[in-house]
Amino acid sequence: MYLLWLRVAAILYAGGCVAIFPAVLSKSLPWRKTCVHMGGMAFFFHFVSVVEMLVQAHRLMPVGVREIESLLGFAVAGLFFLAWWLYDAISLGIFALPATFFLVFIPSLGADRYRFPSQRVWMSWLVAHIIALLLAYAALCFSLLSSMLYLVQERRIKSKPKPGKGGLSPLDWLPALDTLERLASATLEFGFPCMTVGLLLGAVLVQETSLGAAYYLDPNIVASFVMWIVYATLLLLRIRVGMRGRRAAYVSGGALVVMMVVWAVNFFSQVHRFGPQ
């Protein structure tokens, strides 16, 4: 029965993840209330699931990997709601609620490894996983390119041409600064859900392998989650904090370095060599 409550909690956590971004990034009061209510109900059902799980197992401490993941997610959610209650730090939900959902989602599938009904279904999930991550990285590249072009255009505008010097500049094709800013933000907003969906699909796909919990220790997976945090941080800085112009371009340059590291660690990854077993 505890699996039922955990699945209800996972669905509510997913709703809270969707609501937290407009609540924080757009400072929307209705979305904020939705996020708090859904997250609070998820935390309650999660608590019921944890208690029932331990009572059913006749022990007070978790033993299996699924139990530890569920309790870790419960701890993350509890700390977030405590910070929100004491300090009104709802912005932390951008990181805490998705992390909780990732930790709860796999245990909610069942006590054993999830099995796909057929090879065709597994392959369709794999294709969706690859497409989602490729779109995420492509969107990030466009955002980084827009930020770099912003620096070039800004310097071009500040260096006024000398009197009497005519002709066209080779950089006249560059868009306006405002256009580059909006493009950088829009591509981030598009790529972030793609990154989230790609990681979620990957977490399910790996259940067909013998990796199990070792999935989260793989260098590429760790780097991918770091990339997800970078994505969320860039969104928070651009939309909530209002970071623009030169500073945003420099931060985007740091994100480019992180992305290159993520691609580099693919050579040391065991996850992206798997197939159904």
- Do 137 and 271 fall within a single domain? yes
d(Cα 29, Cα 90) in Å, to the nearest integer?
Answer: 12
Whether 22 and 67 map to the same domain: the answer is yes
Q: CB atoms < 10 A from the CB of 59, how many?
A: 11
Q: Judge if 39 and 125 occupy the same domain.
A: no
Residues 132 and 240 in one domain: yes
Q: Are residues 123 and 211 in the same domain?
A: yes
- Give the total number of structural domains in the chain: 2
Written as six digits, the tokens of 130 are 């690859």
If asked whether residues 130 and 8 sit together in one domain, one would say no
Same domain, 130 and 91: no
CB atoms within 10 A of CB 165: 7
Domain membership of residue 165 (yes or no) is no
Q: pTM above the 0.85 mark? A: no
> Is 167 a member of any domain?
no
**Same domain assignment for residues 75 and 144:** no
| 104 and 128 in a common domain | no
* Domain annotation covers residue 85: yes
Q: How far apart are CA 146 and CA 135, in angstroms?
A: 16
- Domain span at 196: 118-159+172-277
Same domain for 236 and 260, yes or no, is yes
Q: What is the pLDDT along the chain (277 residues), one digit of tens a residue?
A: 888 999 999 999 999 999 998 888 888 899 999 999 999 999 999 999 999 988 887 677 766 778 888 899 999 999 999 999 998 888 888 889 998 998 898 888 876 666 777 888 888 988 998 899 889 888 888 888 888 888 888 887 777 655 545 555 666 777 888 888 888 888 888 888 888 888 888 878 876 665 555 556 666 777 778 888 888 888 787 776 667 666 777 777 777 777 777 667 666 665 555 444 4
Residues 137, 235: one domain? yes
Q: CA 230, CA 62: separation in Å to the nearest integer? A: 32
- Residue 13 and residue 47 in one domain: yes
